[in-house]
Amino acid sequence: MATASESNTPQPPLPLKNRVAIVTGGSRGIGKAIALHLASLGAGVVINYTSNSAQADSVAAQINSTTKATPTTAIAVRADVSDADQVKSLFDAAEAHFLSQVHILVNSAGIIDPKYPSIVNTTLQDFDNIFSVNARGAFVCCREAANRLKRGGGGRIILLTTSLVAALKPGYGAYTASKAAVEAMAKILAKELKGTHITVNCVAPGPIATEMFFDGKTEEQIKRVVDESPLCRLGIPDDVAPVVGFLASDAGQWVNGQVVRVNGGYV
């Protein structure tokens, strides 16, 4: 039991108090875990989604029911990340709701072909769909965030990629290529934003137990992935979220233009 003096001891401020974060693809999987974690660090969070409003609203409700701040700690906003006008509206909604600039963008939205075809069996339509969300979406969101954060005096841009860029596994050609493009873009953007107090980094998870990972895989394929891991398990979204929280906080201010591979030694 805490003593009276302990209970009266002022608590240190939350590391992201009074900051506003947009998490694209924040309604499920890794994005959801990131949204919950950033909120636990004190950030106001905008949960972006494309189609499932019930999932996004549920995440916002979970945050708002567990935080001690105002009832407006989290909101859900629909936007297609590949559409520049919708992304602008997403940022406008965040600023209007929180009466504040956006300080943090976490670009977690992404898709993969669950058939895991070889490059020669990937259709042009599937290739275009993957690049539209993963690469074009990251570009549109980064461009909007960079312009807003420059006006606001700085901030954080964090992009989710994949450790497959280093592993280069067959069956993930289009997906891996789209995420490799994001990593190159992030490193260049970090240099282009010199003097703006904006950092740009990538977080590249390894195999994580999410719906997207399990979709289309057999039990044997999943077991094979686990067997390749030095830690003998799949990662979970909560393995990734604290790394994003670190990069979003002042503790990560000297990390810029990097790819942080969060994969348990898979690569």
Provide the phi-psi class of 153: left if phi over 0, else alpha when psi is between -120 and 50, else beta: left
| CA separation for the pair 251, 85 (Å, rounded) | 33
The catalytically annotated residue of 49, 172, 175, 266 is 175
| CA separation for the pair 248, 145 (Å, rounded) | 14
DSSP strands (E only) in the chain: 20-24, 44-49, 74-78, 104-107, 155-160, 198-205, 259-262
User: Is-contact 19 43, C-beta < 8 A?
Assistant: yes
For this structure, is 175 an active site residue?
yes
Q: Which residues, including other chains, have CB under 8 Å from residue 101's CB and lie 6 or more apart?
A: 20, 95, 148, 149, 151, 152, 155
For residue 243, give the DSSP letter.
Answer: H
* Residue indicated by tokens 């954060």: 149
| CA separation for the pair 260, 242 (Å, rounded) | 12
Provide the phi-psi class of 171: left if phi over 0, else alpha when psi is between -120 and 50, else beta: left
The residues carrying an active-site annotation are 175
